[in-house]
Amino acid sequence: MKVLISTVPFADRDQTPLNILGEAGVEYVINPLGRKFTREELFQEISSYDALIAGTEVIDKEIINHSTNLKVIARVGIGLDNVDLIAARDKGIQVCYTPDAPSPAVGELTIAMMLTMLRQVHISNDQMHEGVWHRFFGKRLSECTVGIIGAGRIGKHVLKLLSGFDVNRILVNDIDAELITEEPPKIENADKEKIYREADIITVHVPLTMETTHMISDKEIRMMKRDAILINTARGGIVDETALFNALQNKRIGGAAVDVFEKEPYQGNLNKLTNCLLTAHMGSMSIDCRTQMEREATEDTVLFLLGKTPKRPVPNYEYENQTK
């Protein structure tokens, strides 16, 4: 049995995943390039492997059909937009993922982005390194209306963290309209348009599907306050990057913080703007959460290869999301 580990880094801080593979007698190869595979590189590499422990690289129908020995794909993470689930199912390939493990780390990065943007920390840091002493005015988080689009695992964690900041108004949009409202913080169910128009901070926590692709584009941005802050730690493609660049360049909104991009590694125009905080898809990259993700994906890979039932198979609704 041979496993390709395409996601990097892998087992850098904790060797447990590799120990699990070794104890099961599974041969493995860690991505030799030390970076994300391109589609073409993965196509060339994958054919002889029985299992793939995957990151965010594209795993489309052609790659799946080319993978003659592939039996299981285990995603290190929660997003599945890069995996053609229908093609995998049609070929009898089991797909697993690690939906719970990333939530605390992504939630905390989201809060860190809110605080950084509200107080211009990133700009002050750059100026200090250039010898410029300038003190910025800013807002406290407790004075803001925060809009959360998507209250799944990560969105709920953001809600939990916000309770420690005494935020007295939070607008939430989710397919589950029966969210429990408690004080503090005060949570209001709201449609997206209300969030766009009234929130000082808008943070997105939905999966990337055909329905959510470019969910926030020029029309939605034009509804926002002139000093609004838009945060995306969910998936690249949910926010239209061209529309966001134009809005930030023309000061139509106050700023943005982006951790995920339509094409990664990112090399677009947003890196030219000081009112846009950029991070390298590192939402889940706390040591504890990343290690848990790697361990869970490895455990399910080994379970399936040994003829046992994996603990975290992708549920049916995720397949349905790709057919809508």
Q: Please list the active-site residues.
A: 235, 264, 281
Residue type, 163: S
In sequence order, what are the beta bridge partners of 170?
Answer: 146, 187
* 261 close to 236: Cβ distance less than 8 angstroms: yes
| Ranges assigned E (strand) in 55-145 | 72-75, 94-96
The span from the CA of 10 to the CA of 16, in Å, is: 10
In sequence order, what are the beta bridge partners of 257?
Answer: 231, 277
Q: DSSP state, 226?
A: T
Sign of the dihedral through C-alpha 294, 296, 300, 303 = positive
Q: How far is CA 175 from the centre of its chain?
A: 19
> Half-sphere exposure of 22 toward its Cβ, with a 13 Å CA cutoff?
5
Residue 2: what are its φ and ψ, rounded to 5°?
Answer: -125, 135
Strand, coil or helix: 52: strand
